[in-house]
Structure 1
Amino acid sequence: MLSKKKGSKKMGTKVIMREMAVVSKMFCSSSEVVLRVRTRPHVVGGGGFVVTDLHTHEVVFKVDGVVGKKDHITLTDAYQTPLLLIRRKGGIVEALSLDKQWRGYTSNYVGSQKLVFTLKDPKPGITNRPVRVSIEQNNNNFYCRNLQIRGYFPDRDCNIVDSSGNVIAQVEVIKEMKQMMEKKDVYQVVVKPGIDQALVVGIIAVLDYIQKGC
C-alpha cells in the first residue's frame, strides 16, 4: 500500500487511496498490482509486447506498432479493444523543442480522439533532463499531473515517480531471470494502488519503442 506521502490519506486504521484514472477507472486497483511484460522481436510496423497479470497469468494488455505508420503505437486490452493511440509529434513543434514529444490519445465511441498524456524525451546531447510525462486531462481528482522517469529503462531498472518523488510504478528485472539473457525481454512492472495501469503501460510502450531505436 502507498503511504500517506505517496498519495493516500490515513483516517484511523483505514487508508483511502487517491486514484489517478487517466485512461479508465477500471484499470485502477485498490491494491498493488504486478504485471509481467514479454516483448516481441521488432519488425517494421510491429513488435511491441504482451502484458499479463503475474498472479492470474491472464493477458491484460497488448502493445503493437501500427503497420505502415512509423512512430505510431497502439495499446489494447486483452480483447483487442483500443485503449490508447500513441504517436510522436514531429514537425515544427519538435524542431523548436529540446525534447522529442510523444502524445497518447484515447478515443470515444464515435472515434473522436482526446489527448491524455504527453511524454517528452530529451534529444541526444541534452543532459541532466529526465524523461517527463504530463497528464493533459483536466480532472481535479488527480493528485499529480507531472511524472518523471528515474533510472535506466534499457536495463529494466527504473521508476515512474510523481512530482514529489514518490514511486507510482517500478520496472524491474525478474529475480529468477537475473542471470539469463532473456531478462530484458521478460520483466515486471509493479504498479502502486490507485494508479492507472493502462497509463503506466502506455508510458512503458514509448520507452520500449525509443530503446529499440524504431
Structure 2
Amino acid sequence: MRVLLVEDEPELASALRAVLARHDMVVDHAVDLVEADQIASACAHDVLVLDRQLPDGDGLTLIPKLRARGNRVPVLVLTVRSEIADRVAGLDHGADDYLAKPFAFEELLARLRALLRRPANMQSEVVRAGRLSFDLANREACVGGTVLELTRRETLVLEALLRRVGRMVPRSMLMEAVFALGDEVQPNALDTQVSRLRRKLVDAQGGVLINGVRGVGYLLRETP
C-alpha cells in the first residue's frame, strides 16, 4: 500500500511515517499543498492522509484539484478542528473520512483499512498462487498454514507480484510499490529484495517461482 502523508508538524509526521512503515506501507511525505500536489501528480497512491492546517493554506483545497484531474484516491483528513461544521466542510470538499487530533494510531490504522474496504477499493482479502496465500488485510503470507517470516520490503514485493501473478511486473512499478520518494536506493536494491524473497519461497516449497528479465522486470508464476 502506498500512502501520501501531508503533514507539516515534524514530530507527528515522523511518528506517522514510522507507524505506517511498520504496517508495510510505503509513505511519501509532503509538508505543504504545493509539494503534495506535485507528488500526487507524479505517483499513484492507495490513500491520502491530509492535514488541514498547512503553511500554504487549508488542506481541503487540495481535494477538488485531485478530483478534477480524475484522481479518486480515498482521503482521510486529520485536524484539530473537530467541530461539526468543520467535519461537514471536509466531507463536502470530497474527503472520505475525518479524524480529529489528538488521535490513537490504532484508530488511524483501522480507518485506513476501512477506507480501502469500500466498494471502489474493494479487493479479495486473500490472494493465492500455488501453495502460497497472502492475506491483504493482515499483510501475512503463508504456505500450508505456516507463516513466512518476511521483511517489510519483501512483503511489498510479494504483494505487487501476486496482484499480477503470471504477468511481468515492470521494474518501475515494483520500485514504486516498495520504495518511497526520497528513499536512498542503491542500484541493486530491488534485485536484492527479490533474491531474498525468491529464496524464502523456494525453501518454503510455496509452489511458485519468481522469474526475471534483466532490466525489464519480474513475474511470479505457479510451478507445475
TM-score, length of structure 1 as denominator length: 0.26
Greater relative contact order structure (CA < 8 Å, 6+ sep): 1
